[in-house]
Amino acid sequence: MAWLCCKACNWSQDEFWSEDYTPLDELARDYSREILMRSETAVVEKWIAEELGQSYEMKGDLCHVSWKDYMVSVLQEAENKVKNMRFRTEAEYHAYKAVNGTKCPVCGAVDALVVEPY
Ligand SMILES: [Zn+2]
């Protein structure tokens, strides 16, 4: 488990793929069944609805967005994770690091790649 980012550009990657994890596994596990079987709305934090540019309705302290808008945003997030991924596996990252050190894989800045385990 690791968070990778560049100090020089805005690229980041939040995970390596493994036998136990891909972004699609995360979708299936955390979102799709629950959201698809839900009634009309999903409850999210207000800043999420605003960041997604979705219309929302406040009911007390709870921010409701349509289940369809929420599902689209979840799919877009998964798409972005795949698009931003430069190292599918930790082994790919170590092979890159052995040749390139901490050079950013996106902008090429030297000594810019940061890896934080979590
Ligand atoms: Zn960079």
Residue extents of the structural domains in the chain: 1-17+85-118, 38-84
CA of 103 to the centre of ligand 1 (A): 8
pLDDT on residue 107: 98
CA of 116 to the centre of ligand 1 (A): 16
Q: HSE-up of 74 (CA within 13 Å, CB side)?
A: 23
Q: What is the mean pLDDT of residues 78-83?
A: 88
CA of 15 to the centre of ligand 1 (A): 17
pLDDT on residue 101: 96
Sheet holding 12-13, edge to edge: 12-13, 2-6, 113-117
Q: What is the mean pLDDT of residues 43-66?
A: 84
CA of 106 to the centre of ligand 1 (A): 5
Give CA–CA dist 82/29, Å, rounded.
17
CA of 5 to the centre of ligand 1 (A): 8
Using pLDDT thresholds of 50, 70 and 90, give the confidence band for residue 89.
Answer: very high
| 77 three-class SS | helix
CA of 110 to the centre of ligand 1 (A): 9
